[in-house]
Each structure stands twice: as C-alpha cells, then as structure tokens.
A and B are shown apart, each in its own frame.
Chain A
Amino acid sequence: MSDARHHVIIGSGVAGNQAAETLRARDPDSRITMVTVSRLPFFNRYDLPRVFRGERDWRRFVIYPAEYYRRNRIALRRATKVVAVDSINQTLTLQHKETIHFDTLLVASGARSYLPEELSEYRPLLLGFGAFHEAVQVAETLPKRGHVIMLGGDTIGLDLARTLIELRHRVTLLADDYTFWPHEVSEADRPRYIAALRNMGFEVIEAKERGSLAAVSQGAPGLPARRLVFKDGSELHGDVVMPFFGNVPILDFMIGSGVDIERGLLVRPDLRTTHENIYAAGDNCQIWTDSVRRYCFYHGWKNVRAMGELAARNITGANEAWTPQHDESLRLTADGKILSPFWEYQ
C-alpha cells in the first residue's frame, strides 16, 4: 500500500466534483474516490429542461468526459450507496458490504426532492424531476401542448415551467408555502410575485383558496390522466402532476456516525464537521454563520461549487472560512417577471 492519503467524497454533483478537482491539484499523489448512487457521471442537472426540447441523449448533459476522471485518477464509484460511516475507524460501508477506509471524507451527497407526508400515498401518480430518467419520463408522458400541474413550485419547478410554457404546454401552479423555495418571500410581497408568475404564463391557484388538496387520482377515461380533488370539492385535471416542495439533505448514512446533524450536517465556517477528518459541502450541510448566529443552508450552484472548493482547500491544509458567493434574493424584472439567481447557470 502506498502512503498516499485517501480522500473519499460521497456525492458526485457540483460540490463533489469541484472538491475532487481541487484535491487533485493540491494533493497530486493522493488517492481520490468519489462514491455516488447515480449511475450517470456528473451531469448538468440544471439543464434538464432541455430534455423537453427533444434532447434525450444523456451524454450531452455530462460535464466531464470519462477521460477526465481517468486522467485525474479519480475513482468514480457509481451506482454505489453508502449505508454507514464510522468516524472513529474512518471507514464507510457500502450497501454491498464493501468497506472503504478514508483519511479524509467529504460528504457532498446533496439533497433529494421533498414530498410532504400527506402526499406520500399519491407518489405513484406523481412524476419527479430529480434525475435524468425522471425528466425523460415526464417528457415522454406529456402530450403535445399537454397540461402540467405543479404542486408547490420551488425554483427548480418554476425553472422547468418556464421551458414548458415556452414550448406551449399549459402549466397550472398550485401555490403554497413552498412556492419560490428556497427564496423567502414575505406575505406582503407574495401577491406581486404571484402576479409576475401569471404574467409569465402560469395559471396559478392558491391552494389555500380551495381548502388545500384532498386527493390525487387517475383520470377517468377520455379525460386527462390525472385528477386533483380539493377540499372545497372542486377538481383540476391535468396530464402530469409534479411535486416541487424543495429539497431535504441526503444523510441517512450519517446517522450513528458520531457527527452532529440537525437538518443538515453541522459544519464550522471551514466546512469541517464535528469530526476533524470529515467535511461537508453543498445542499446537505448547515454552515455556522456568525452574522446570524445560527447554522444556515446555502443554495445555488455557485455557492455549492465554492463550498466544494473550500472544503478541498481546507482538507489539504488551508484554513479558510466560508463566504457566500451568491445573492439569494428573488428579483422582479422590469417587464414584470420573476428571476431567480439560481437560474443563472447557462
């Protein structure tokens, strides 16, 4: 065995890949292993709306070619789920019972779409948008000029809706507290932002006005494929129903690891967890932020990428503190549309 340090990264998204790149640059002789449940190499998730423009070849979404990983000696373990992390012995256990030892661990496992408990029984009738195959499934299910019903409406959903409207699909947004997530819009400002959505072509229904959603069911023969029933007895029919209720960190495997978790992994400003060799970056960590005296989530690819880089720098000897890279405020444009800074990925 060589004496080279083994850096293990859980997750192969923006943070994980940025960290790997930085680690390779700053620690050329090290071993780098990136573990991800995804079967795809790192691809541009933000670009998934392109699937609706007819682009179905996932290779065109890939950020780095296979050669990049070979050249940089980054062992990419795809379709591999971590089930446990042992911070004392510095090992992680994979679902297939393989044990990997690490010298440093970066948890950049990201987040998955959140589905409120009351909707979980309808999951088979809802279509997600978190993975490439889910985007393809929606695109293949949706008829020409089809009707999409969006529940919640976080910024990922609103971004997709912009494309769908442009492609002359009908989008009905069932707005609630998750609309505009992760942006925080005050009650006072909300009517202006809802109006902006309507100005952009959305049909917006405030869920509260109908007493909230009572049920989702299969549409009757001859009608669109999905039927929504509200507590006031009214109904809404659409071809596809998609939930967009924001994200929750993927951290199941960290339970019992000995590392502090609140909603996300709690990290110091240098992105180190409560274990000195374990760091976190991305949507799954809450960073101690002195200005507000609490642990905060930071969103958007610029922030996530910066976290990946910072974590790698600190893993390799730097001692730098996190500073947000992104203005997270939702904006209204002069022509009456909303614009999220998280959409600035192109």
Chain B
Amino acid sequence: MNTDVQIAIVGSAGDGTIAAGDILRRAMAEIGYRVISFDLYPAEIRGFGKCIARLRVSDEQAYSLKQKSDILVSLDDSHAIPHVGEAREWGAVIYETNSVNPLPEGAHLSAHIDPGQVPYNVPIRELAEKSTGAARSRNIVVVGYIIGLMRLPLEPALRALTGKFKGKGEIAQKNEAALRAGYEEGLRWFRLDDIEFGPPPAQERGAHLEMINGNAAIVRGALDAGIDTFFGYPITPATSIMERLASEMPKRGARLVQTEDEIAAISATLGAGFAGARAATATSGPGLSLMAEMLGFGVIAEVPSVVFVSQRGGPSTGMPTKHEQSDLNMAVFGGHGDAPRIVIAPTNVEGCYRCAGRAFEMAEAYQTPVIVLLDLYLSNRYETVPFPDRPPFEADTNRYADTRGGAAGFQRYVLTADGVSPRSTPGQPGGMHVATGLEHNELGRPNDQPDMHLAQSRKRHEKLKAALRHPGFEPAKRFGDTGAVDVGLVAWGSSFGECLEAMYLAQEEGIRCAALKVLMISPFPVEMATSFLADCKEVLVPEVNYQGQFAGILQMQVPRAVTRMTRIPCAPMRVEEILDEIRRLAGRVVEPQAA
C-alpha cells in the first residue's frame, strides 16, 4: 500500500475525542482514502473515563486496525500516557505543549516519548483560545493540525465539520476557526516523521464510496432489501440499528414499533413474518436469551424472520460497552429442542450490508429465522464501503402456494424434496392453516407421532442446507496461499480482519499461510472447511471468547485437531498475538513480548 496510516486520538470523555476522530475519518474518506475506524469509550457519559478514536487510512480497504499507530494524539495526558508506546518508531506524537496546572515529574506526556518517536509539542489550547475564545475546540484544532502537518487538503475536513455542526451557526463558525488555526499551525511545522500519504485510489465504477459503521450498514442493507416491519427494544450495542431505522422507515411507508421488551419484539416480528412482511428485530446477548423460546417457535412454525444480534461482553448484563464474540453458541444452539436456524456472521462493514440484505432473502426462501450475528467492534467500527449503485437484493424470495380453487386442507408443511413447503399468508383464499408451536403434521395440526416428528424434524434441518448455495452468498472464502500451507486460520465475525492482517504479515515472513473466512456458521459449510483443513499442516482458530465456541462448532463438523486461540481482552484481538501464534505453529522462534 502507498498509504497506510493509523491515527489514534486519546482523551477524556468530554474532550471531543470521538468527534475529532469522526471528522477526520469523514475527511479522509472524502479525499478518497479507504478508512477503518473504531472508537473506545467508557460506559459513563462525561467527566471521566478514557476515550480513544482510532482510524486507519489506506489506499486499499483494511479490515483491522494496526497494532501500532503512526500518529498518536493526546487530548488528555493522564489517559494518553499509557498509550504512548502505541506510536511506532518515527511516528508522530502530538500533544499539548503547555499545562494549566503545575505537574509532578512524569505527569506530562513528553516524559514518556520514546527516543524513536517524533514529538510534536503543539500549543493546542492556545490555538483554540485564540481562534474561538475558549479551549473547547482543542479537538478541532488537532484535526486541523494533522491535516496541515500531513499536507492534506483542508476542504474535505471543512465539509465534514459543516455536516457535523449543521444548524448550529455560532458553534459551527467557531469550530471552523479552530480547524483553520490548527491547519495553519500544522503547515508551519517542519516534519521529522516518515509518515506518507500517497495519492488516494481511483473510485470503483458502478459503486459509490461511503463512510459507515456496521450497524448503519445493517440498516442500509435492510432498507435496500425492502424491510417493512421492525420491532425492537433498545440494548447496547444494537440500539443504533433501531434508531436509524426509526428515522428511515416512516419515510418509506414502513412500520417500526418499540416494544415493551425483547420477548414482545421477537413475537411481533414472527407475527409480521407470518403475515408475509419482511420483518426484523435487533438485540444483543441478553435480549437474545429472552428471544430463545420464540425463535424455537419460528423454527417449528417455519416463519421467515430476521434477528440482528450484536454481541457484547457477557454473560448476563456483562459488559455492555466491551467487545466479545461469546454469543455464538446461543445464536446457533440457543433454545430447546432441535431448532436449527440460519446464522450468518459478517466479518466487515460491507459484509454487514450484504448479510442484512441476504438474510431477508434467506428467511423467505428457507422459511426460517435468520440470525445475523455482529459484535460490538463490528457494529461500531467505521469503514469506507463501496455501495453498489443498485441494491443487489431480491425483493421477494417467498415460495407461495397457488391455492386458487384448492380443496380444503391446505398442506402448509407438506414434505417436499428440498424441505421447503409453499406457504400462504393470512387471508389468502384456500391457504388457511394452523401455525403452532406444537409438533404438527403437513396440515399444521398437532401431531406427536414418531414418524411425523422425524419427518418434520428432517424437513426443518434439510431445507437449510440449500442456504449454503444461496445465490450471491459465499458461506466461506479462502484467502492467502493456495495448496498446502504450514498454518491455516479459520475465523469468523470481526476477528477475521485481524486474522487476515496477521496472515499477510506471516506471508511477508515467508510462512506459507492461508485463512478461511466463515460467513455462514449454521448450516456449516462442511465441504469447504474439510477441503481447507486438509491443506493445513496446523490449524489456528482465533476468537474473542473464553470457550473457543467457534472452534467447538468447527470440530463438531470437521473432526481434527486445531489450536484454539481464545482471548477476552474486552477489545478486538491483537494482530501481533495472532502473528506470534502463527510463527509458533510454523516453527519460528517467537521472542517473548515485553510486559
């Protein structure tokens, strides 16, 4: 890559750290760079707690953040000091040169800058005060300073700023003044770092680039797929799915209801799905637990429905603002009885868009609940996504029964070769049937005979296999070296980005390496996984949960030894850690990491 620059801004809640990162990433995207960005913030609203905005700017879309940042900015030294080591050798460390209060030795960031890092001691507060009359715009000064220092155009940042403070006249003016002051200051400085911004890549034809986060991409995918009903109950980190839909759906004549809890949300979603609507809900782990029983109902009644689940740290209320991938077992197996469902897990923001749209297609085509499993990292991280100019989703994938002139006794659950029974919707003449949570016969009437239970169970399981061949959807995809490899990584969800980065780094070190991205976890792409694993001398399965839930599913489907790499750092897995494990498995010497 000609351009691959990561910027980290560290501050305290209330410093505008996240806002600064937001303006920067939007400016970089408008310039034409590809961006991935993820913010860390405390559960508290304001006044204390560390905030970090990180964005990686490149000319090819990256799917993970780098271990080291090229530019580290401190808006609050007490929070930034532990992160100074994150700036790479010859990278830039930007910090406030003055202090309001006397400091004991070591309390200023300058005391912690490594001799290999390049200090930029900027009078941030002074610039903010001179340009706006107050220190509040320090974050915007920093944005301007970075753009000036890196000799990037100012206009995209001005537009991003205008967009952010739209309708806030005086505030917008002051922030523009702060941005310009920072920019002029940045231009003035002699650069000692070796950070390079090359020309941005050319735009793809037939697509337009947008800066968007995972939850927003889910919403875009749902809207482009024609969602017309949504029932939900707010829960971090899925809430913004409902919030965004609430502002968009009414414009399209679609309906959204905030229900009293998650049980009502899934029940109403299933009701709408039964009625023929493209229906969805969104939740996180605790909500998914509450939905478990009704999901089983969706399975047995064969009702199309989509559930977006964004995982957070668990169990129980757990850690609402921390990242984890520990709801996989719940998504795949949660609930009683043999209740197979489709579970797909996007690995990046563009994947969120595609999975959201395809989920509606699959729900209808295979008449089942479909869970789209995200995680906090994916929900909240921003990427530049090349959206197609025309939505790629089918508007209706239902298989409806022709019930005109039909005799009494519509066989809603008739046994077919592929397991999918033509459906009807309420009110359809000749399509009347019983939909119940009880095991049933082909008419839908309660039936607990072993033969029927076996037949219907087999039907519910077998029909899902077709999802592995769903048009426009690759359940798994191989990356890296072809043929036999020393180490093969198998990964799912957002962790795949870190795995891919680690794989590329391992390849640069001469290790034959490949990675299998598994998008569809239920039903599992057994053939593809079997073929991939056969090529691998060693198999590494990194994931952000304690148990190694995905590795368990993999081994259940493809029995063979794998190395489980489970970490629960309350944050995305570190690329360096995965790389070290690849090196170890490849027989390379791994230097012990400094504490």
Q: Does B116 contact A (CB under 8 A)?
A: yes
Given contacts A59-B194, A97-B102, A99-B104, 8 further A-B contacts (CB under 8 A): A40-B192, A66-B115, A69-B115, A94-B108, A96-B97, A96-B103, A97-B101, A99-B102
Q: Does A41 contact B (CB under 8 A)?
A: yes
| Set of chain B residues within 8 Å of A132, measured between Cβ atoms | 190
Interface of A is mostly: mixed
A57 to B, closest residue via Cβ:
B194
0 or 1 for each of A34-61: is its CB under 8 Å from B? (1 = yes): 0000011100000000000000001100
| Set of chain B residues within 8 Å of A77, measured between Cβ atoms | 110-111
Q: Does A25 contact B (CB under 8 A)?
A: no
Tell me how far the C-beta of A81 lies from the nearest C-beta in chain B, rounded to whole angstroms. Answer: 9
Assess whether B110 is in contact with A79, with CB atoms less than 8 Å apart. Answer: yes
| Set of chain B residues within 8 Å of A70, measured between Cβ atoms | 114-115
Interface residues of A in 114-148 (CB under 8 A from B): 132-133, 136
From A40, A69, A79, A100, B105 is in contact (CB under 8 Å) with A100
Assess whether B121 is in contact with A79, with CB atoms less than 8 Å apart. Answer: yes
Q: Does B119 contact A (CB under 8 A)?
A: yes
Q: Does B118 contact A (CB under 8 A)?
A: yes
Assess whether B192 is in contact with A66, with CB atoms less than 8 Å apart. Answer: no
B89 to A, closest residue via Cβ:
A66
Q: Does A75 contact B (CB under 8 A)?
A: yes
Q: How far is the CA of A101 from the CA of B105 in the complex (A)?
A: 8
A6 to B, closest residue via Cβ:
B105
Tell me how far the C-beta of A199 lies from the nearest C-beta in chain B, rounded to whole angstroms. Answer: 37
Interface residues of A in 1-46 (CB under 8 A from B): 39-41
Q: Does B90 contact A (CB under 8 A)?
A: yes
Q: How far is the CA of A76 from the CA of B114 in the complex (A)?
A: 8
Q: Does B107 contact A (CB under 8 A)?
A: yes
Q: Does A95 contact B (CB under 8 A)?
A: yes
Q: How far is the CA of A94 from the CA of B104 in the complex (A)?
A: 11
Assess whether B111 is in contact with A98, with CB atoms less than 8 Å apart. Answer: yes
The 4 tightest CB contacts between A and B, nearest first, are: A66-B116, A133-B190, A66-B115, A69-B115
| Set of chain A residues within 8 Å of B194, measured between Cβ atoms | 59
| Set of chain A residues within 8 Å of B105, measured between Cβ atoms | 98-101
Assess whether A39 is in contact with B118, with CB atoms less than 8 Å apart. Answer: yes
Assess whether A78 is in contact with B119, with CB atoms less than 8 Å apart. Answer: yes
Assess whether B90 is in contact with A96, with CB atoms less than 8 Å apart. Answer: no
Q: How far is the CA of A32 from the CA of B430 in the complex (A)?
A: 90
B118 to A, closest residue via Cβ:
A39
| Set of chain B residues within 8 Å of A66, measured between Cβ atoms | 89, 114-116
| Set of chain B residues within 8 Å of A95, measured between Cβ atoms | 97-98
Interface residues on A, range: 20 to 34
Q: Does B99 contact A (CB under 8 A)?
A: yes
Q: Does A80 contact B (CB under 8 A)?
A: yes
Assess whether A96 is in contact with B190, with CB atoms less than 8 Å apart. Answer: no
Assess whether A76 is in contact with B115, with CB atoms less than 8 Å apart. Answer: yes
Q: Does B113 contact A (CB under 8 A)?
A: yes
| Set of chain A residues within 8 Å of B115, measured between Cβ atoms | 41, 66, 68-70, 76, 78
From B89, B108, B118, A98 is in contact (CB under 8 Å) with B108
Assess whether B114 is in contact with A75, with CB atoms less than 8 Å apart. Answer: no
| Set of chain B residues within 8 Å of A98, measured between Cβ atoms | 99, 102-108, 110-111
Q: How far is the CA of A75 from the CA of B108 in the complex (A)?
A: 14
Tell me how far the C-beta of B483 lies from the nearest C-beta in chain A, rounded to whole angstroms. Answer: 40
| Set of chain A residues within 8 Å of B102, measured between Cβ atoms | 97-99
Q: How far is the CA of A97 from the CA of B114 in the complex (A)?
A: 21
Assess whether A96 is in contact with B119, with CB atoms less than 8 Å apart. Answer: no
With A76-B115, A98-B105, A99-B102: A58-B121 Cβ-Cβ less than 8 Å? no
The interface of chain B, by Cβ under 8 A from chain A, is 89-90, 96-99, 101-108, 110-111, 113-116, 118-121, 190, 192, 194
The interface of chain A, by Cβ under 8 A from chain B, is 39-41, 58-59, 65-70, 75-80, 94-101, 132-133, 136
Tell me how far the C-beta of B593 lies from the nearest C-beta in chain A, rounded to whole angstroms. Answer: 16
Tell me how far the C-beta of A51 lies from the nearest C-beta in chain B, rounded to whole angstroms. Answer: 12
Assess whether A96 is in contact with B108, with CB atoms less than 8 Å apart. Answer: yes
Assess whether B113 is in contact with A78, with CB atoms less than 8 Å apart. Answer: yes
B102 to A, closest residue via Cβ:
A97
Q: How far is the CA of A95 from the CA of B190 in the complex (A)?
A: 21
| Set of chain A residues within 8 Å of B108, measured between Cβ atoms | 94, 96, 98
Q: Can you report 10 residue pairs joining A to B where beta carbons are below 8 Å apart?
A: A39-B120, A59-B194, A75-B111, A77-B111, A80-B110, A96-B96, A98-B103, A98-B108, A99-B104, A100-B105
Tell me how far the C-beta of B149 lies from the nearest C-beta in chain A, rounded to whole angstroms. Answer: 13
| Set of chain B residues within 8 Å of A67, measured between Cβ atoms | 116
Q: How far is the CA of A79 from the CA of B121 in the complex (A)?
A: 7
Tell me how far the C-beta of B358 lies from the nearest C-beta in chain A, rounded to whole angstroms. Answer: 50
Assess whether B111 is in contact with A58, with CB atoms less than 8 Å apart. Answer: no
| Set of chain A residues within 8 Å of B190, measured between Cβ atoms | 132-133, 136
Tell me how far the C-beta of A200 lies from the nearest C-beta in chain B, rounded to whole angstroms. Answer: 31
Assess whether A97 is in contact with B103, with CB atoms less than 8 Å apart. Answer: yes
Q: How far is the CA of A98 from the CA of B111 in the complex (A)?
A: 10
Tell me how far the C-beta of A88 lies from the nearest C-beta in chain B, rounded to whole angstroms. Answer: 18
With A58-B192, A77-B110, A77-B111: A96-B118 Cβ-Cβ less than 8 Å? no
Tell me how far the C-beta of A90 lies from the nearest C-beta in chain B, rounded to whole angstroms. Answer: 12
| Set of chain B residues within 8 Å of A78, measured between Cβ atoms | 110, 113, 115, 119
Q: How far is the CA of A59 from the CA of B121 in the complex (A)?
A: 20
A100 to B, closest residue via Cβ:
B105
| Set of chain B residues within 8 Å of A40, measured between Cβ atoms | 192
Q: How far is the CA of A200 from the CA of B96 in the complex (A)?
A: 48
Assess whether B119 is in contact with A79, with CB atoms less than 8 Å apart. Answer: yes
A101 to B, closest residue via Cβ:
B105
| Set of chain B residues within 8 Å of A68, measured between Cβ atoms | 115
| Set of chain A residues within 8 Å of B107, measured between Cβ atoms | 98
B191 to A, closest residue via Cβ:
A133
Q: How far is the CA of A41 from the CA of B118 in the complex (A)?
A: 9
From A39, A69, A94, A101, B119 is in contact (CB under 8 Å) with A39
A62 to B, closest residue via Cβ:
B115
Tell me how far the C-beta of B186 lies from the nearest C-beta in chain A, rounded to whole angstroms. Answer: 15
